[in-house]
Structure formats: structure tokens, C-alpha cells
Structure 1
Amino acid sequence: MSAEAGGHRVSWTQARQLAFAATRALPPTTVSLSAAVARTLAEPVIALCDVPHYASSAMDGWAVRGSGPWVLAGGSSASAGAADSVAAAAAAAGANADTESDADATADADSDAAPTSSEARAIVTGGLIPEGFDAVLRSEAGDVDSDARAGGDQILRSTVTPWPGQHIRPQGEEFRRGDVAIEAGVRLNPAHIAVAAACGVDALVVRARGRVSLVLTGDEVVTHGIPAPGTVRDSFGPQLPAFVGMLGAEVVRQERVGDDHDALVRALSADASAHDVIITTGGTGSSSADHLRRALAELGARILVDGVAMRPGGPSLLARFADGRLLIGLPGNPLAAIMGLLTLAAPLLGALAGAGPPEPSRIRLAQAVPAGRGETRLIPFRLVDGLARPSAFTGSAMLRGLADASGVLICANSDADAGDELQFLTLPWA
């Protein structure tokens, strides 16, 4: 339909289907590790090395071979004690050593003597286990004997007999080279980034994020302080960029215009190549102050969804420009606008990111919901003892019910009793 046709409202379900089908996935992109948190992997992370990539000590103490007592390589003084033996080895141990030859050079820095059958070398946590050593004796479990010497070497004694592999982190304990470390489709958290780094990866292939331009309209909107009678405080500018980010896209531009047709046309035409989607607030009605439909008609846009049979948020619309860009028009009332975002923006932005259509879940009601008037009603609810308790604050301008909501109930025209199951949408931040 044309932008000025004023067609009938589609059902809530159909609106979501049309929004999801209106676009296709953008190609994946490559980002650095530091920029990948909260992004979704498009390709799996493959370990480029073993993790750990060398056998290392899990304790401060001594790497040992054979049975005790052990000849202590390096000859630190008895008076220094075990702790000083460990500290003296820290610089030489090389916790980030990559090869066994590095380990040998480090361990032999203070002694060129060949290893004996019962030998100990001071080691720190993370230090490379020297070749042929099969256990670590923790520093609290050993004593260096200053009186008993063999060929000038000090003797390490312990009442503990370490077993093979004790306090050693084996090479490849977490991952072997070539293992899948993180599956595709995972939304990355900081721990995932640490895993990728440990696997030798420097960049990740993630799903693209749709680029969104925000155009906020209204002469009556004030951006700071307490609004005077006849004006309203801006509730969109501070939160829409974050909301859009939670839906898998990013805001690349934000502009505010008054209730002026020519200014709106200019705003919708600006930086056309810099964004994939425009989201507008206000102006979706048919009063003399609502200019969106006329602006779309002037720009040759085609309306795909001209209103949704839902409450609140019914005047929400979806349009496509001739150059392929899409526009989501949200009502000016805050709760109505957010329901428009969940209905149209969530599936559309998800499609751009290569995600499947968001599917509702089901929950039982804690109390009855009365019948509606022919449209789908979207009602914020709180989860109380495993049941959905609908909010009493459901007016199109009310945000109190949504602020502490667990989700949004999808209520058909018929009523529902306590204990009945209804579909619900999960909120991006819940």
C-alpha cells in the first residue's frame, strides 16, 4: 500500500511475521576481542593451541623428580627458607615460557649440573614444569636442610610424598589444538573473551548489527528538568539507544525535530547510506501535528504495516523506502512505543543480525485477565511464585508497570482465568 493509503490494521502475529520477512541477514563481520562482548558468534572459536599450552605448576613450591629427599638445584641459602627459594626462582622460571628448551635454560640458569635421580627445582605458580619432573611439592610442605649437603647442593626434605602429576596443570587440560572452544550462536560474555584469548585468537567473526537512525519528533518534548504543564519529558532519547542495542542493533545517528513536515522529510533523507533502519517516535496518528505518513508519501516509501490490532501501540507502522531502507514508526506515548518496538523492531533487527524470529513462551496466570475489545493486549507482568501477576499500570503513557516487569503477556480477545496459560514475551533486560 502507498504511504497515504491508510490501510487496515494487521493482527499482532501478522505484524511480527511481516517485520521479520521485511529484510535479510547482513553479512557477518570481524571484530577485535575487546569489541566482542555482547556480540553473537557467527563462526565457532577454534583453539589455535593447546590450553594450557605447556605443563605448568598450580602452586608455589618445587618441581620434583624421583623420591625424596631431593637435591635442590640452584643452591639458595637455607636461612632464606622455602619462600625465598620460590621467590628466587620467579624471574628464572618464566611463567609464559613456550618451549621446553626455554624451560631448561631457565631452570639451569644457576646450575649447569646434570639432573640427578632425585632433584628439586624451585617453581612459582604458572611456571613451566621442567622436562622429566613429575610432581610439585608446595612450599608449605618442604624444608631446605642447611646442614645436610651433597656436593655443595642443599637438600629439600618433606614428610609428604607427592604423587605423579600432583599440583601440575597438564598441557591441553582444557582444550587441545583444533578443538571447538566456543560454539557459533553464543552471545559472548567476558569469560568467553578470556577463553578466546587463551586459545590464541585475536579476532572473532560475529553477526552483524543493524545500523539504526533515531528520529525523535514533537514540539512538546523537553529534554531536561521537570516539564511544565502542556509539555512532556523526553523518555525516548535516554533509553532508546540502549534498547536498540539489546535488540541486536546499534544507533549510529540520533536527531530531534519538531512537528514540522519539511524538517521531518529532511531528517528521513539524511545520511541514507549510513543506516539500515530508521526508528521514529510520534507522528504516526492522523492529526494536523502528525506528519509521518505525508513525509513517507513524499519520499516514495511503501507502507508494509499500517497499524497493528494491539493495545497499546496500535498506531505503530513499518515502511520501506525505494532505496531499501526500512522505517519503524512508533507512537509518541512511552508504553505504546515500547510495545511497538517489541512487535516490529525485535523481529526486524533480529533478522538483520541473522537470528531466528523471537518466539513467545508460556506462563500461568496468578489472576484473571478480562476480555478485550477485539485487539491483542500486551500487558506487563511480574513473576510471583512462578505465576504471572499482570500490572495495573497498562495505559499507553505509563511506564511504572514495565519498569519492574518480568515480561509482557500476550492476551487475545477472550478472557483468561487464574491458572490459565498465556503466551508472553521476554523483555531484553529481564
Structure 2
Amino acid sequence: MSTETAAAAAEVVAPPPAGWEEARSRVYAVGLAAALPAVSRPLADADGHTLAEPLTPRTDLPAFPTSSVDGWAVRGEGPWKVVGRVLAGHTPPPLEADGSTVEIATGAMVPEGATAILRIEESTRTADDRVAGTPRPAPEWREPGEEAYAGEELLPAGTPVDPAVLGLAASCGHDTLRVRRRPRAALLVFGDELLTSGPPGAGRVRDALGPSVPAWLRRYGCQVRPADVVGPVADTLPAHVAALRAALADADLVCTTGGTMHGPVDHLHPTLEALGADYVVNTVAVRPGFPMLLARLVDDDGRVRFVAGLPGNPQSAVVALVSLVAPLLAGLQGRPMPVLPQVTLAEPVPGRGDYTHLALVRWDRVAGTAHPVRHVGSAMLRGLAGADGFAVIRPGTSGAAGDRVPVVPLPLTPGERSW
């Protein structure tokens, strides 16, 4: 089949462009249906993964009455005779006689029979070497189950594992966690016109997506090695097919840049056809970002992999990442569908007719306002470098100052929970 015939066939069978919100929902659903299998990981190796089952304590927290202060565990009325000492990490004998006390350290187990704890700084030693003072009326220890009960759900499945989660899991008595691993991703850069070093010139432009897309993917929770970034791939159909087949051997997701149209050197559609892919989304009614796509391949053994076709213009490629790749990756990791926060527009933002407009903005999280930025053409990255996300202007509308609109946050730091 010629390149022209293959391109025409792909165009005929491809589904029509999807609305932006519909596309997000669709790719999240297929990602969730193909969620990565759960594996057990030691706590030291679980950071950046996603809980595959709820986090529950193995015992009550705390598991035993625990002193909140340094002082004296006393029984009955004072002054009290000192009969021992209790340090953290030990099981003390019970206090059996009224008028007795043991010195106790913060975090130590409160002995059975204790009726109060007297703070060390509020106590005195009497001439006959007894302890005197007045305990505070509120108990100075933590009761079993005060923080959580054994088996209580503390965090749901789908929670990203971060240092706080690791600490909580350890306190719950876990040595390992059931998690979904981070998706493996690769990037293919298409375009003979691209330079990989030095300044642009003589009709050739610098590849801005080869360095940046892997960094975005890592911020969305992916594993991307330097060897997983390939290109520029030669502008021929055989080169595209070979490169995509090789990348799919190890990756759960392969992103490509450029080639999403049907021009003379746009080979992505016939490549997908040659590999037996089916479209999840083929073009989205959004500006900037046209055209973008997500395709799916299913092996004979049921293994599912995805190809995200990003436009060649840099800002449009990032729009495709936040529109299709981010919700897909949330689904693959078993995370909830991202909920978009609302912001108040500080200035007007124009609409784009029948298309959703994703407008780059700076987000003042204190004031809850979004300010449009300049230099936001599809081929520009200057505005993106100073932005925090995209304000969503729905089809058939425009944004007036004071309007409340959704915003798609950019994941500006690794592991940020915006997505």
C-alpha cells in the first residue's frame, strides 16, 4: 500500500474529533481499564508509585496507652513512692499499690493501674524521697486507637505514594505496600528539519520537545530513561514503523512529536495502521493543540500499550499532554480522574468559537485569580515558561474578567499532586 493510500484509509476509519471534556473522559476510562498490575514493593522502593489497595493500620494507633510527656505515672493519691522507671520500648509491670509511681518517658507504655501522669516539671521530691504534685485533670497519655483503629481505611487506593504516605505506612506496621508501578514511557521525535544542538538557522529549527516532553512525563509519574528518547526519526514510513515498534517493546506509552496531520511527510497515521492500532481519540476540538491523537494497541496476550501523537508545535504539544496524556496516566496508575480547580479570571480571555480554548495563565493561588500571559502562539514557549496552567474557556463562550472557570494546573514540580 502506498503512503498516500494508507493515509487516506486511516483518515476514513478514524473517529471524528472529540470535544475536549469528552476526550479527557474517554482516555481516562481506557487508561483505567488497562491499569497497570499491582505489585508489592518495600517501603524504601515505593516512593512515586500509587497505592493499589487502601492503606489500613495493622494495629490500633497507638497500639497501647502512650505517655505524652516526661513525668511520673502515678496510682491513687500522693505523695507517691517511687517503685521503678519506664522507658520507651519496654513493657512495664502494673502499678499494683495506691500511692506508688514510676518515672516515665515520653512515648513509653503507661503501666496498667496508673490513674494519672504528673509532669516532671510540675513535680517535687519530698524529704522522704517521695514525689509530690498535682496531675492535670486531662489525661497525659494517648489512648489506643486515638489516631486510628486496626483495619480502618486511612488512604484509598489510587493515592500517590510520597514521603508522608511512606511514614504513615511505616507507623501502621507495614514493611511493604501493594502499589501500581510507574508507567514506562518513551518519546519519538519526528522531523528532518529539527536540530538537536546549536542555534536554529538555514531553514532548520531546534528540537524543543526532545528535552522537555520526558521531563513533563516524569512529573506525571512516568519512568523515562535517556535511551527512551529517540530522534529525529527519518521522515519515511519504514523508519517510523521500525522506531515505533521498537519503542513499544518496553513502553506502556509512547509519545510522538509531529506527523499528526496527513501531509507528504506525516507518517504517523499509516504507521499506526501498519501496527494494528485503533484510535481512542483522533483530533480534539481544542485550540491550541490541533491535531492530537491517542491510539491503543492490544497484543495477543492482552497487553495494552498506547501511542500519544503530539503536535509538532511546542505549546500545542504541551496542550496535548495535559489534555490526553495526563488523564491517561492517571487511569493507568489507578488514580482518580483529576478534578480541575476553579479560578477567577483577572482579565478577559477570548473564546475560540466551537473549540475549547486552553489559555495560558499565571495562577495566584492566594487570591484565587488567573492572569493571562503573553507570547502564547502554538510555536512559542516563552509564555509557557512563565505560566502555572491553562484556563479552560468552553466552546461558544469567552471569558470575562471576574468569571469563574476551570484551570488545568501544570505539574511544576516532580510528584506534584495537581494531577
TM-score (normalizing by structure 2)? 0.79
Q: Which of 281, 293, 304 is the aligned partner of 1:317? A: 293
CA contact (8 A) 1:25 1:354 kept: no
Residue 354 of structure 1 aligns with which residue?
334
Unaligned runs of 5+ in 1: 75-88, 108-113, 150-154
1:327 aligns with 2:310: no
Unaligned 5+ runs, structure 2: 413-417
Residues 71 and 119 in structure 1, CA contact (< 8 A), matched pair in contact too? yes
- Name the residue aligned to 2:55: 45
Q: Any idea what SS the aligned residue of 2:108 has?
A: coil
Distance 1:48 1:301 in 2: 45
Instruction: Tell me the amino acid that sits aligned with residue 427 of structure 1.
Output: L
Is 1:427 paired with 2:407? no
Judging changes above 3 Å, is the alpha-carbon distance between structure 1 residues 32 and 241 closer, same or farther for their aligned structure 2 residues? farther
Q: Which has the larger radius of gyration?
A: 1
- The structure-2 alpha-carbon separation of the partners of 1:183 and 1:358, relative to structure 1 and needing over 3 Å to count, comes to closer
Indicate whether 1:124 and 2:78 are aligned.
Answer: no
CA contact (8 A) 2:282 2:294 kept: yes
- Indicate the residue corresponding to 1:274 in structure 2: 250
Match of 2:385 in 1: 403
State the 1:196 CA deviation: 2.2
Letter in 2 for 1:345: V
Question: Structure 2: which amino acid aligns with 1:32?
Answer: P
Give 1:173-192 correspondences, 5 Å limit: 173-192=146-165
Provide the residue aligned with 1:136 in structure 2: 117
Q: Which residue of 1 aligns with 2:68?
A: 58
Q: Deviations over 1:389-423 (max 9, x none)?
A: 22222111223333343431233355443344444
Residue identity opposite 2:52 in structure 1: A
Alignment of 1:271-420 (within 5 A): 272-287=248-263, 289-321=265-297, 323=299, 324-355=304-335, 357-358=337-338, 360=340, 362-372=342-352, 374-383=354-363, 385-411=367-393, 412-420=395-403
Per-residue Cα deviation, 1:319-367 (whole angstroms, up to 9, x for no partner): 3346353211112222111101122212322332334544555544333
* More deviation, 331-340/60-69: 60-69
The separation in 2 between residues aligned to 1:302 and 1:194, in whole angstroms, is 42
Residue 200 of structure 1, CA deviation:
1.6
8 A Cα contact 1:49 1:176, kept in partner: yes
Once the two structures are superposed, residues 78-115 of structure 1 have per-residue CA deviations (whole angstroms, 9 ceiling, x without a partner) of: xxxxxxxxxxx5xxx34123xxxx423xx9xxxxxx96
Alignment correspondent of 2:228: 254
Report the more deviating stretch, 335-344 or 48-57. 48-57
Q: Identify the match of residue 175 of structure 2 among 202, 222, 226.
A: 202
CA-CA distance at 1:268 after TM superposition = 1.0
Cα distance, 1:265–1:57 mapped onto 2, change above 3 Å: same
Judge conservation of contact 1:6–1:306 (CA < 8 Å) in 2.
Answer: no
Contact persistence 2:392–2:406 (CA under 8 A): yes
Residue of structure 2 aligned with 1:71, choices 81, 84, 91: 81
Paired with 2:243 and 2:218, the residues of 1 have a C-alpha distance of 22
Cα 1:120–1:220 shift into 2, 3 Å: farther
Deviation, 1:236, is 3.3
Following superposition, the deviation at residue 69 of structure 1 comes to 2.1
In the TM superposition, residue 190 of structure 1 has moved relative to its aligned partner by 2.6
Inter-partner Cα distance in structure 2 for 1:276 and 1:55: 48
With over 3 angstroms needed to count, the CA separation of the structure-2 counterparts of 1:204 and 1:282, relative to structure 1, is same
Check 1:416–1:140 CA distance in 2 against 1; reply closer, same or farther (3 A cut). closer
C-alpha contact 1:33 1:202 (8 A) present in aligned 2? yes
User: What secondary structure sits across from 2:325 in the alignment?
Assistant: helix
Hey, what's the Cα distance between the residues in 2 that align with 1:173 and 1:361?
33
Distance 1:11 1:394, change over 3 A: farther
Matches within 5 A, 1:143-162: 143-145=124-126, 148-149=127-128, 155-158=129-132, 160-162=133-135
For the residues of structure 1 that align with 2:196 and 2:89, how far apart are their CA atoms?
Answer: 53
* CA distance, structure 2, for counterparts of residue 241 and residue 186 of structure 1: 23
1:277: how far off? 1.9
Residues 196 and 357 (structure 1), Cα distance of their counterparts in 2 relative to 1, 3 Å cut: closer
1:300–1:25: structure 2 CA closer, same or farther, 3 Å change rule?
closer
Q: 2:296–2:305: 8 Å Cα contact kept in structure 1?
A: yes
Residue identity over aligned pairs, in percent, reads: 38
Against the structure 1 CA distance between its residues 140 and 395, is the aligned structure 2 distance closer, same or farther, given a 3 Å change threshold?
same
3-state DSSP of counterpart to 2:154: strand
Q: Does 1:95 find its partner at 2:97?
A: no
The Cα RMSD (Å) is 3.4
Query: Do the aligned partners of 1:25 and 1:353 also contact (CA within 8 Å) in 2?
Result: no
Deviations along 1:221-276, one digit per CA (max 9) or x if unpaired, are 5556x535355555434443442244354436613222413443222112644322
Residues 275/310 of structure 1: CA separation in 2 closer, same or farther (3 Å cut): same
Return the letter of the residue paired with 1:33. Answer: L
Contact 1:10 1:308 (C-alpha < 8 Å) held by counterparts: yes
Q: What TM-score comes out, normalization by structure 1 length? A: 0.77
* CA contact 2:200–2:206 (8 Å) conserved in 1: no
Count residues in correspondence.
392
Which amino acid is 1:256 matched to?
Answer: V
Distance 1:268 1:241 in 2: 16
Question: Cα gap change, 1:179/1:414 in structure 2, threshold over 3 Å: closer, same or farther?
Answer: closer
> Counterpart in 1 of 2:415?
none
Distance 1:51 1:19 in 2: 40
